[in-house]
Chains A and B, each alone.
Chain A
């Protein structure tokens, strides 16, 4: 899966969760910029992303993520 596809699928999942505009979505987006992206929703989000992409993250990877860009790289590295 190339970066565009990863990013597109990620946007759909994020939008599903947080009802984001496309303009708000980018590699620099972080949790504190998004209404509802709290620590529990972060876990739910990660669970859904793992299921969606068919990848597995370790607990460490999940808790160390800083922004959407890092998330996309992590997925790209595993697909």
Chain B
């Protein structure tokens, strides 16, 4: 079954296949710890899974577990519909937002009685929030097409009812109330004419919803736009007549996780838990392509190019978020100067340097960079969201900095914006001029901040990636991609020597060469071919003619694994010496120290900056290879 962005909460990571076992182990281990519970809720859970997590939370609470640092939250839930399915979903979803939610359920259909009675169990429970989940069947609304007076009377009575409930809550409780807009039925009354005819569901719900929103503006109470949510997923998906008839459940069970998430995200926003800073990756996020390899002219973000437009949409939306008070920052594995040329010199860029508060383009891990952004802006990690197309980078941040909001992204960049927005990371309960100006308060000088010590043991994370390297000599199936990498890679490229596809084909049978094409798969993705190495045999020496790598896998110690492959192959072939060469270009400064870091000795520095390096194979220590290597590298020498 394909993933539905909304119904399956597609911006959240998929639950592991053994989730049930994990939940069970959390429960069996006795009282679940707060962090374990919170971790379980970070996945896109379905209704059944939410139920189980809620039960684990109940067990922990009953077991007297200290649930700190979860924030205790008491929610009273009142409805004209069945709330037994919703309440566990809200409890589990609350964990996602850092709440230990306690729910007080009013008896079915007792909304008015409960709220007008100062002695009711709802008030006795002293809730923080009172959620009033009334649907179109719980108000004085009924379809009266064409009857202007009856329509007006129904509308007035419904709004009076809300006013009465609101006043009662204000009188009897310290709680804020959450009211919801009303999703209209999926079935039109007359048809296309409905919006123009008084008393149709289309007009009634439209008028009611608008008036409700106006009534709540400027009050401390919260608005849940259920009608908007139902519109987004589709009314025919939202409403389930059979379920209503059987159990008075207000909507399809498939939308329950989404509805619960929206209730809890509004509460979270009210408690100040919305994100205030969006940290953006650059390559393949803000534009298509890799600026360091493809160059200023090679990246795609132009109008008229579907791929380019998808990435421009990301920029447009980031700029809109900024106008809504979200501070923008950049974290990219890039050369600082190269990354900035896009902002300065690319005509199609929507975002400019002065929209960015902190601009971190370097080769260190992103967790360290995001920590530095957080420190510099004096915004806690829980105020940050991070947008990156690369699943391994997202995984790293989730693991190293779990408080940062990291939306999953689909393969297709055309859906990046929709997914980011659906995540609700920037949900707001109020919106003022002050919010509009907030981003300006942070000096948008695109500054680079110094990095502290690494925030995480990257090695541990890398081991969790289950990296599998597949090493092959050049062959016909790999030929086109090998030639492409040889002609495109600029940054992690020691010599920047270009060879045509025909040259590559000739190398396949050249017994004087060792050729390697290396593919990498990890638990997130098949990264495809990520590295190419060519060694020329000179007696008992291999001269490394070409060594290049895709920047997508930088920082994963891939070069160490490749060195190990080289060492093993050299020993098998009776090679005693490896010679390396670094030929500087304006793009490949990042590998100037590549051979030094791998233990080669400097032999010579030429006038043009070229450096020659050498190491005896016997002196090369075995490398700590993270991941597994499968190889068929019968050395051709």
Genuine A/B complex: yes
Interface residues of A (CB under 8 A from B): 16-17, 39-40, 43-44, 47-48, 58-59, 62-63
Query: Could you tell me which residues of chain B, from 42 to 57, have a CB within 8 Å of some CB in chain A?
Result: 47-48, 51
A16–B51 alpha-carbon span in the complex (Å) = 11
Task: Report B-chain residues with C-beta under 8 Å of the C-beta of A40.
Answer: 82, 84-85, 247
Output the nearest chain B residue to A63 by Cβ-Cβ distance. Answer: B246
Task: Report B-chain residues with C-beta under 8 Å of the C-beta of A58.
Answer: 242
A40–B47 alpha-carbon span in the complex (Å) = 14
Task: Report A-chain residues with C-beta under 8 Å of the C-beta of B242.
Answer: 58-59, 62
Output the nearest chain B residue to A52 by Cβ-Cβ distance. Answer: B48
Beyond A43-B247, A47-B47, A63-B246, 4 extra complex contacts between A and B, CB < 8 Å:
A40-B82, A44-B48, A44-B51, A59-B242
Task: Report A-chain residues with C-beta under 8 Å of the C-beta of B48.
Answer: 16-17, 44, 48
- Could you tell me the distance in whole angstroms from the C-beta of A63 to the nearest C-beta in chain B? 7
Q: State the majority secondary structure of interface residues on A.
A: helix
- Could you tell me the distance in whole angstroms from the C-beta of A60 to the nearest C-beta in chain B? 9
Given A47-B253, A48-B48, are A39 and B20 neighbors across the interface (CB < 8 Å)? no
A17–B20 alpha-carbon span in the complex (Å) = 11
Q: Is B245 an interface residue (CB 8 A)?
A: yes
- Could you tell me the distance in whole angstroms from the C-beta of B8 to the nearest C-beta in chain A? 12
Q: State the majority secondary structure of interface residues on B.
A: helix
A48–B51 alpha-carbon span in the complex (Å) = 13
Output the nearest chain A residue to B247 by Cβ-Cβ distance. Answer: A43
Number of B residues contacting the other chain (C-beta, 8 Å)? 14
Cβ contact within 8 Å between A59 and B20: no
Q: Is B249 an interface residue (CB 8 A)?
A: yes
A17–B88 alpha-carbon span in the complex (Å) = 14
Interface residues of B (CB under 8 A from A): 20, 47-48, 51, 82, 84-85, 242-243, 245-247, 249, 253
Output the nearest chain A residue to B242 by Cβ-Cβ distance. Answer: A59
Task: Report A-chain residues with C-beta under 8 Å of the C-beta of B47.
Answer: 44, 47-48
A-B CB contact pairs (8 Å), 7 listed: A40-B82, A40-B85, A44-B51, A48-B47, A48-B48, A58-B242, A59-B242
- Could you tell me the distance in whole angstroms from the C-beta of B253 to the nearest C-beta in chain A? 5
Task: Report A-chain residues with C-beta under 8 Å of the C-beta of B247.
Answer: 39-40, 43
- Could you tell me the distance in whole angstroms from the C-beta of B258 to the nearest C-beta in chain A? 15
Task: Report B-chain residues with C-beta under 8 Å of the C-beta of A17.
Answer: 48
Task: Report B-chain residues with C-beta under 8 Å of the C-beta of A16.
Answer: 20, 48
Output the nearest chain A residue to B24 by Cβ-Cβ distance. Answer: A19
| One of B51, B85, B246, B253 near A62 (C-beta < 8 A) | B246
A63–B48 alpha-carbon span in the complex (Å) = 21
- Could you tell me the distance in whole angstroms from the C-beta of B248 to the nearest C-beta in chain A? 10
Cβ contact within 8 Å between B245 and A59: yes
A44–B246 alpha-carbon span in the complex (Å) = 11
Task: Report B-chain residues with C-beta under 8 Å of the C-beta of A59.
Answer: 242, 245-246
Output the nearest chain A residue to B20 by Cβ-Cβ distance. Answer: A16
Task: Report B-chain residues with C-beta under 8 Å of the C-beta of A39.
Answer: 247
Cβ contact within 8 Å between A43 and B20: no
- Could you tell me the distance in whole angstroms from the C-beta of B23 to the nearest C-beta in chain A? 11
- Could you tell me the distance in whole angstroms from the C-beta of A53 to the nearest C-beta in chain B? 13
Task: Report B-chain residues with C-beta under 8 Å of the C-beta of A47.
Answer: 47, 243, 253
Output the nearest chain B residue to A59 by Cβ-Cβ distance. Answer: B242
A62–B249 alpha-carbon span in the complex (Å) = 15
Task: Report A-chain residues with C-beta under 8 Å of the C-beta of B51.
Answer: 44
